[in-house]
Amino acid sequence: MKKKFRQILLTVAAFPLIAAANTANAQAIESVFGLDVSNPRAFVAALATLDQSNPTGGQTVTVWANVYDGSSPATHTVVVGYDTLEEREAAVTQRNASKGWVDFQQTLVGVSDLVNTSMAVEAFREGSGWAGHGALSATLMTVTDPAEYAEAFSRLVDRIDNPGSIRLMQMPFGGEGVTHVVLFSAPDSAVLTTFLTEMTASKVYQDFVDDVEDIRTIQTVNLYRRVVTFGD
């Protein structure tokens, strides 16, 4: 039986900081939740009410609609972002003690089911992140040599255009075999799809593939549409 979404933000885990690539902002933390939402309007309204009663205070909560995600039963993905583990601990403690959180749990009964959970650590970022971007692609993969892959990925990013933001995430928990995710965001899906089509057809990208083909296995490539963001 699927767990209810009311349980999702109760998971708090501590883990060693993972080796980063080459960005000063390489320890941002994200809790990622795949959800089967039967009533999207009620779901977003419940999050809005929670945000009003218990402001996120430095964290962000972004709801993405799953446009193309293979056979996953999830209809939406919620990403809760924090700058540090300490910020995450404090935010979860404050939220769980609030009346707004209790009301939120009760509101979501029968509205959504939890499909999967994971944690991501930002290892590389080019651009300002996905703020204001309406489309996101996620390449889920298994990497056997993270340091070599990060170096090759950094070279690729230096040689391609940026559709909005480019990020490399490491998955310490809940990846189910996925160790890394590459995220590209853009203003909309048309811009993003055009960028990805042109990039993957380029010689620069083929050189990158040659560099990483022995250490990277792609599991799937998903597309998401932003629904709403709460917080900073």
Give pLDDT, residue 55.
62
Q: Tell me what the mean pLDDT of segment 79-83 comes to.
A: 91
Mean pLDDT of 9-21: 34
Boundaries of every domain in the chain: 26-231
Find the mean pLDDT for residues 68-75: 95
Please, what is the end-to-end C-alpha distance for the chain in angstroms? 35
Mean pLDDT for all residues in the chain:
86
Q: 215: which DSSP letter?
A: T
Other beta carbons less than 10 A from residue 175's beta carbon: 21
Output the furthest CA–CA distance in the chain (Å, rounded): 56
Q: Residue 120 and residue 133: Cα distance in Å, rounded? A: 20
Side-chain-side CA neighbours of 178 within 13 Å: the count stands at 23
Please count the helices (runs of H) and the strands (runs of E) in the chain.
Answer: 6, 9
Question: Right CATH number for 26-231 from 3.40.50.12280, 3.30.70.100, 3.40.47.10, 3.40.50.300?
Answer: 3.30.70.100
Report whether pLDDT(18) > 80. no
Task: Give the whole-number percent of the chain exceeding pLDDT 70.
Answer: 85
Token look-up 């080459």 returns 22
Pick the more confident residue, 177 or 13: 177
CA 198 to CA 161: how far, in whole Å?
10
What angle separates helix 85-96 from helix 99-107, to the nearest 10 degrees?
A: 80
Structure tokens at 126: 């080019």
Q: Which of 44-48, 82-86, 129-133, 189-193 has the lowest mean pLDDT?
A: 129-133
> Among the listed ranges 44-48, 93-97, 180-184, 198-202, which one has the minimum average pLDDT value?
93-97
The model carries a pTM of 0.85
Task: Indicate whether 115 pLDDT > 90.
Answer: yes
* Res. 19: pLDDT tops 70: no
Mean pLDDT on 138-157: 97
Which amino acid, one-letter code, is at 79? V
Question: In angstroms, rounded to a whole number, what is the distance separating the alpha carbons of residues 61 and 187?
Answer: 18
